[in-house]
Amino acid sequence: MPLRPIAPLMAAIAVLLTPATPSLAQNQPYGAPITVEQAKRVAQAASVEMRKRNLQMTIAIVDSGSNLVYLERADQAGIGTIDAAIGKAKAANGIKSPTKAIGDLIVNQNQINLLGVTGAFPVEGGVPLIVDNKVIGAIGASGGMLPDDGAVANAGAKGLQ
């Protein structure tokens, strides 16, 4: 299996995993990369939630190799939201878990060393995309408060179902 761009992050988190952090202890394999059509469905579902919350955000979809497949930026979304959305998507794909789990490890278990891990994005808003129990990519959302970013990303992930 080829190394993923987030391999250092995965290795560092794997060392830190304990039974107290089951949210990161996922053994789901990677599947075939998300298609453009699937990515558009994910982004559309996320956009509906974004508009419902009256937000201006950037939504990024990466495939199972952490390559950007689709990006949508609302007209008034901040320029900084682009890199943040992509970073959240790549991190969620790399750990096969929501990025909120990284933040929870830092805050709840004092794992501040994760802040130094390349590719770690310890904030809410990145969610893996899973089909047939395989990770086919991830979505990242940025531009709102962290719970909003998480809600928009989760809504996008549900768009695959």
Domain ranges, ordered by start, for the chain: 7-15+30-158
Instruction: Give how far Cα 13 sits from Cα of 16, 43, 47, 55, 139, Å.
Output: 5, 28, 31, 32, 20
Residue of 153, 95, 136 lying closest to 104 (CA atoms): 95
Give the pLDDT of the chain (161 residues) as one tens digit per residue.
444 555 555 545 554 444 344 345 468 999 999 999 999 999 999 999 999 999 999 999 999 999 999 999 999 999 999 999 999 999 999 999 999 999 999 999 999 998 888 888 999 999 999 999 999 999 999 999 999 999 999 999 999 98
What pLDDT is recorded for position 26? 65
Q: Architecture of 7-15+30-158 per CATH?
A: 2-Layer Sandwich (3.30)
The Cα 22–Cα 65 span in angstroms is: 24
Residue 48 DSSP SS3: helix
* Count of H-run helices and E-run strands, the chain: 5, 4
The Cα 78–Cα 3 span in angstroms is: 32
